[in-house]
Structure 1
C-alpha cells in the first residue's frame, strides 16, 4: 500500500520547492501513483479547507509564504531612497511580509505601480523578501483634487494643495465634460508630456469651488475619506431593531442624563452621580457612565463592521459630519434620546471624597435618559439660573454631578495631567454656509465635568480588561523625545523661562513651565510649543501608558458611535464577562495589530482633513481683509519663512523669507531663529508683530503676509538684498559674532 505523506511533510516540500508545487509534482516527489492519488487529493483538500495551504490555479503553497512569482504594489521610497512593495495576494494570518525592491535604473518604478515580480526569501534582515521586476501589470494611479482650466484643446488642473504648484495636463478626450473653473477630481493617465507636466483624466466633477459646501468636500476627497455608505451597509443598518431587556440589567429607573453641545445629533454617553451612603466613604459618590451599546448592532464580520473598521472614526467639519456608522444607528438606535429605552454598556464607579476610584462594576443594561441637556443649560442651572427643564433636576441630578466633579478635580490636581490652555476656535457659518465669524469656544465646568467622568470610565475599562487578561486596544501616548524636549527648552529659555534638565520628565514639570508663562506675553507661545513637543497618540494592543493624562492604564470606551477603538473595547468587555456571542471574535484578536494601525491612520487622516478645512474657511474669512495691517505673534520658524498666528481669527499666515528685509537671513534650527547676516537682527518664536495681509486663497487655505513691525520696531521690507545677477548677497557674520548677537537678543527679551 502506497504511503501518503503527512500534512507536515507536504508543507515542508512546498516550502523547499515553491516552483514545483502542483499536485502532480507532489505526487511524483513522494512516489504516489494510481488510486493513491485520490487519497493525496483528499489530504490537499483538507489542508486547503483548514487554511494551511492556498491554491493558485493548479498549484499549492504555504499560506504563510509568498509564491516565487507574486503580484505587488510599489510603495513610496523611504528616507534612504529605497523602494518597497506590498503583496496584493497575501493570505497569511499575520501582517503581510516586508518586501524590498531590487531595481535597475531602466525599471522606472514609482509609487502605485502594480507589478509581477520574482521573489527571494531572506533571513536575518529587516525585511522578509527581495523582489525583482518581471513586468508591469498596471498602476493604481495617483489622484488629485483641483481647479480645471479649459484651453483650446483640453486644459489643465491646478491642484488645491497648499504646498503644490505642479499642474496636470488634461487632453480634450479626458475632460469628462468639465467646465472652466470647476472643481474636479482627476487621476494620472500618463507620464510627463513635452511640457514636463503629467497627463490626467478627470474622473469626477465636484462643482463650483467657491461654493461654501466645496470647502469640506475638497478635504474629504483630497484625503480619501469615504463619504458614501455602500448599499449593503445601509441595508444591514435598516434591518436593525431596538434591543430589548433580555440578558440585560434594567437601569431605566436611574436618573441618567446626557449633556452635549446644543446642536448634537447623536448622544452616546449618559451620566449620574449619587452621594454614597456608605459610612466608611463619607463625602464619596457612586458614579454611573452609560454608553450606547453599539456592539449589539455592529457584529464582528458584518458589512457594518467592515465599513466601520475601514472608516475608523467619524470626521467632523463646520458644515457636516462624515459618520463612522449610518444614521439609522448613529442618530437613532445608538443615540441615547430622552425618554427612549436604549441598550447600553454601563459602569458604576465608587469614588472617595478626593476623587480616588475605590472600585468599579461593568454591566450590560437597558437605560432610559431622563433629560437631554445642553452644556450651557446645565451650567446656567448650577450658576443659579435654572429653566423649566433644569429646575426639577437641580437637587436630584445636577448638584450631585457637580459635587462628584469637585472630588474628581482634587484627584486630577494630585495626578497632574498636562494642563494646556489653548482656546478652541469655532467657525460660525451663516445660512448660506459662508463664514459669519470666528469665535473661541467658551469652556464651562459642564464640559470639564463630562471629560472627567469619561476619563475615569476609560480607566476603569482598561483596568477591567487587564484584570481579565482580555485582549484590547489601549490608547497610548508616549513621552516626548529628547530632541523635541530640547527644542521646547530653547523656546522657554528665549522667553526667560526654565524647563529643568537632568530628571525623568513628568507632566508636572511641563505644568510648572506653563504656570511660569501664565499671564505673560509668551503664554500662548509656550502652550503651543509644549503641544508641539508632544508625540502623537495612537492605538496599540500593548500598553505603554498615557503620558499626557498621567495614567498607566487607558483605553477608549466612551464613544463607540464615532470611534472603532471603543467598539473593540466594548466587544472585549462582552467577551470577558460572557455577555453574548457578539463579543471580541477570533478574527478581531488575531488582527488587533492591524486594526490598531488602521484606525490610528484614519484618525490622523481625519485630523488633517479637519485642519485643512479650517484653514480654507479661515482664508475665506480673511480674504476680505487683504491689504489690512493686523497684529499677531510668531509661532513658527522655518528656513523658507516665518509663521504668524493672527490676532482675533487665530489664522496662521506665512511670511516668506524673501520679504523679511534687505539682507540675507540664516536659519538656526537649534534655537528656532532667523538671523540677519549683516545686522544680526533676530527673528524668533514668540515675538509680537504687525503684518500686512498680502494674499488669502480660500481654495488652498494659504494666507501670505509681510511683517511691518517686529517687537514694535519697523523693519525694511523689500524682498531681501540682491547682488549682481539677482542672487541674494550672503554676507555672513563670523560664528562668534552671530552667537553673541543671539545671546544679546535673548538677554534683552528676558529682562523686559
Structure 2
C-alpha cells in the first residue's frame, strides 16, 4: 500500500544569528528580515526567526506594537507586514497644529489597512521658493533615506488648494423631480437632475457638488456621497456632525490600542479601597469619571472642619503621549453630546469601561484630599495616585431623595456614614462660595427626550437639585487645587480662563438698564458682585428675564489658555479643568502635568507637549465651540421637526433678540427659537433702537424689547435648517416716541402700514 504523501508545510527560515540570542533585534533588523523573508507575517514567526523566547517575548511584542504605531508595520488580524512606501512625489497635508519652525505632514490619501499614516518631516530652507505653513496642502518630493527603515523627508514643490467639502443637504423627491434642501439656512434649494441622484433616495442626507446649467447659469446639485437617512436612522445629529466635520469614527489603530489596553495594577499607587467614595451622576450617565467622599476632620485645630476627597479617573494611565489614542483625543478635543447620541473623545473600551469608576470595581485614579475649615475655606490639599473601589453608584435624584428623608433600599445604609457627611461638608463650602460671590446667573436648560425612533417625545427643564450643586462645588474646589499645585511647582499647564466683560459690552448693558430705569455703576473695574446686585434688583422689579439675557450677552466666552488671566464668572484668580479627562483633552493635559510635577509616574507631561501648550489651548477652545454649535443646531432641528406638525398653532414666547430685520422669539414651553420679520409687525414704522434692544414704532411708541412676553402663531417650520417663522399676535409696551434717541445712529430699515417698505 502506497504511503500517503506528507502534507506540505510552510517553510520557515532558519533563525538569524546576526545578533546575540537573548537580546531584542533593532527595528532595522526586523524590517530587513521581513523584506528578505516575506513569509514572516506573524509574531510567532518573527519570534522564532530571531530566537526570542522566555522573558523576552513581552518586550518583543511591545517593540512590534511600537513599530506598528510608528507606521513601519501594519497588522490585519494576526498577520503583520511592512507598510506601503510613499511615492517619490506625494500630496501631503500639514496639520494645523504643526510647529511652524519644525513642520511635519502626513499623506493626503492613505489606506488605513496599511497602518498608521507615516509622518513626514518637511524641509524648508531660507532660500526655498515654496514656504508652506501649518494647515497647508503641498505637493512634495519624498526622500525615504538609505536605511531599511523609511525615514521620510519632503521638499515642497507647490502649495495646493485644499478641495472644499461639498455642500450638505437633504434630498426631496416629488412629482416634479428631485431637489436639495440645504442644511445651511443661507443657501437656497437646488434642483437635482435624474442622472445626478446616484443612489440617493428621498430623505437621505447627501453631499453634493454644485454645477451650473444653461445660459442663465442656474445652480443645480449633483450627489457625490450619500451620508445616511436621519429620519430612518433616528440620528438628526448626523447633519451637524457632517456639516461641522466632527470626527465620529475611530480609526482602526485607535480601536486596537483601546482593545489591547489592560487593567492597571496597584504597583506605584496608594491603596484607598478602604475609603467609601461614591459616584453621583445623571441617571442616564454611561461613564463615571468623578467620585467623592467627606468626613469630619478629627484634628482639634480644625473643629467643625471636613476632609473632602475628589477622585478622578486616571485616563493618563491609558492614553499616553504620542499614541494613536492620544492623537485622536487631541483631534476631537472633547466629547460632543446630542439628544440622540454621544460622539466620545475616547473609545468606549476606555471611556465606559477601563476608566469608568464602576461600583465595586478597582479603578486607578488621581485623587485630591482637601482639608476644609468650618467656614468652607480650603486650608490645605494634596494629590495622590491611587486605586480605589466605588462604594455606590447613585443618581442625583437618588441622593437628593435620601437627604430629603426618602431613602430607598440602596441609599438607606449610606445615609449616615456617607451621604450626611458629604452634605455637611458641602453646606460649609456653599457658605464660602456665597462669600466669594461668583456670578449668579442660573439660566434654565431644557432637556430634549427622544422616543425609540429618534423623534422628540418630551421637552422639560430638569429640576435644579442640591445634589447637583454639591458635585459642582466639589469639582470646582478640585480644579482650583490642581491649578494652585501646578503654579506652586512652576509647572506649565492649561488654565480655564474667563475674561472680564469688554468696555463696549458694558456700555451697551448700561444703556439697556437705563432704559429699564435700572442703574449700573460706571466703575472701570467690575466684579461679579456688581452683576449679582443688578440681577437681584431686576428680580424684585419683575424684570429678571430682560436683565438676565443682557447680562449673559455682556459676558466674554470662557476658553483655554496657557497663560492665566483668571476666571471672572467664578470669581477665581486661578482655575484649571482637572475633573473630566474622559471627555475633555484639557483635563488630560492637567493630569499629565500633575504626574510630572509631583513625580507620580513616567507618563506625565512631556517637554514637547509643554512647548505646544499655546497651540493645544487654541485647538481645544475651537473644538469646544464647534461642539456647542453642533449641539445647539441639533436641538434647533429636532424642535423644528417636532413643531412642523403644529403649523397655525399659537404659543407664548419671550423676545430673545431684536435686530434691524426683526425679532427673535423663544417659546416658553419648548425653548424653540423662531423669527418674526420686521415687515410683518404692526401698522407703524419700526426702527431698531440699540440702547433699548428693541424695535420701536415711530408714531405710536409701541416697543418690543428683549425679555418681553408675547403671543405668536407658527407660520412655517424648516426642520433641516432648524428654522421657525412666527406671526406676532401681541401688542407691545408703550414708550414715549420722544424718549427714543434719534440722529445719534443711522436708523434701521423702517416699514409702512402692512409691511410696505418705505
- TM category (shorter chain) comes to 0.7 to 0.9
Instruction: Please tell me whether residue 148 in structure 1 is matched to residue 177 in structure 2.
Output: no
Which of 553, 577, 594 is the matching residue for 1:532?
553
Q: Give the match for residue 752 of structure 2.
A: 721
Q: Distance in 2 between matches of 1:272 and 1:65?
A: 59
Instruction: Please tell me whether residue 496 in structure 1 is matched to residue 527 in structure 2.
Output: no
Q: Give the match for residue 157 of structure 1.
A: 180
Q: Give the match for residue 340 of structure 1.
A: 361
Superposed CA RMSD in Å reads 3.0
Q: Is the 8 A contact 1:459 1:554 kept in 2?
A: yes
1:459 is paired with a residue whose SS is helix
Instruction: Please tell me whether residue 237 in structure 1 is matched to residue 258 in structure 2.
Output: yes
Unaligned stretches of 5+ in structure 2?
Answer: 1-100, 106-120, 141-154, 735-749
Q: Is the 8 A contact 2:702 2:732 kept in 1?
A: no
- Offset from partner CA, 1:44-67 (integer Å, 9 cap, x none): xxxxxxx98999xxxx99758683
Mark the CA change 1:296 to 1:63 in structure 2 (over 3 Å): closer, same or farther: farther
Q: Distance in 2 between matches of 1:368 and 1:438?
A: 36
2:692 is paired with a residue whose SS is coil
Q: Give the match for residue 185 of structure 1.
A: 207
Mark the CA change 1:65 to 1:438 in structure 2 (over 3 Å): closer, same or farther: farther
Shift of 1:173: 5.4
Q: Distance in 1 between matches of 2:173 and 2:160?
A: 32
2:236 is paired with a residue whose SS is helix
Shift of 1:421: 2.2
Report which stretch shifted further, 170-179 or 565-574: 170-179
Unaligned stretches of 5+ in structure 1?
Answer: 1-50, 74-84, 91-115, 119-134, 714-718, 730-752
Instruction: Please tell me whether residue 523 in structure 1 is matched to residue 552 in structure 2.
Output: no
Q: TM-score, normalised by structure 2?
A: 0.76
Report which stretch shifted further, 152-161 or 461-470: 152-161
Q: Distance in 2 between matches of 1:611 and 1:219?
A: 9
Which of 173, 185, 188 is the matching residue for 1:166?
188
Q: Distance in 1 between matches of 2:126 and 2:509?
A: 47
- Offset from partner CA, 1:176-225 (integer Å, 9 cap, x none): 31124422123x36678754455654343234454472311111111111
Q: Distance in 1 between matches of 2:306 and 2:403?
A: 18
Q: TM-score, normalised by structure 1?
A: 0.77
Q: Distance in 1 between matches of 2:213 and 2:270?
A: 65
Instruction: Please tell me whether residue 700 in structure 1 is matched to residue 721 in structure 2.
Output: yes
Q: Is the 8 A contact 1:70 1:87 kept in 2?
A: no
Matches within 5 A, 1:447-466: 447-466=468-487
Instruction: Please tell me whether residue 567 in structure 1 is matched to residue 591 in structure 2.
Output: no
- Offset from partner CA, 1:83-138 (integer Å, 9 cap, x none): xx957589xxxxxxxxxxxxxxxxxxxxxxxxx999xxxxxxxxxxxxxxxx9845
Q: Distance in 2 between matches of 1:144 and 1:720?
A: 35
Q: Distance in 2 between matches of 1:142 and 1:292?
A: 38
Instruction: Please tell me whether residue 576 in structure 1 is matched to residue 597 in structure 2.
Output: yes
1:410 is paired with a residue whose SS is helix
Q: Give the match for residue 633 of structure 1.
A: 654
Which of 548, 553, 572 is the matching residue for 1:551?
572
Mark the CA change 1:67 to 1:629 in structure 2 (over 3 Å): closer, same or farther: same
- Offset from partner CA, 1:425-482 (integer Å, 9 cap, x none): 0112223222112100101100000000000000000000011111110001001111
Q: Is the 8 A contact 2:703 2:733 kept in 1?
A: no
Q: Give the match for residue 95 of structure 1.
A: none
Shift of 1:523: 1.5
Q: Is the 8 A contact 1:644 1:655 kept in 2?
A: yes
Q: Give the match for residue 508 of structure 1.
A: 529
Matches within 5 A, 1:190-269: 194-196=215-217, 200-211=221-232, 213-269=234-290
Report which stretch shifted further, 679-688 or 229-238: 679-688
Q: Distance in 1 between matches of 2:139 and 2:682?
A: 57
Q: Give the match for residue 44 of structure 1.
A: none
Alignment length (residue pairs): 616
Mark the CA change 1:88 to 1:276 in structure 2 (over 3 Å): closer, same or farther: farther
- Offset from partner CA, 1:324-350 (integer Å, 9 cap, x none): 000000000000000000010000011
Q: Distance in 1 between matches of 2:336 and 2:641?
A: 21
- Offset from partner CA, 1:583-632 (integer Å, 9 cap, x none): 11122112111111110000000000000111112222222332122222
Q: Distance in 1 between matches of 2:274 and 2:343?
A: 34
Mark the CA change 1:197 to 1:571 in structure 2 (over 3 Å): closer, same or farther: farther
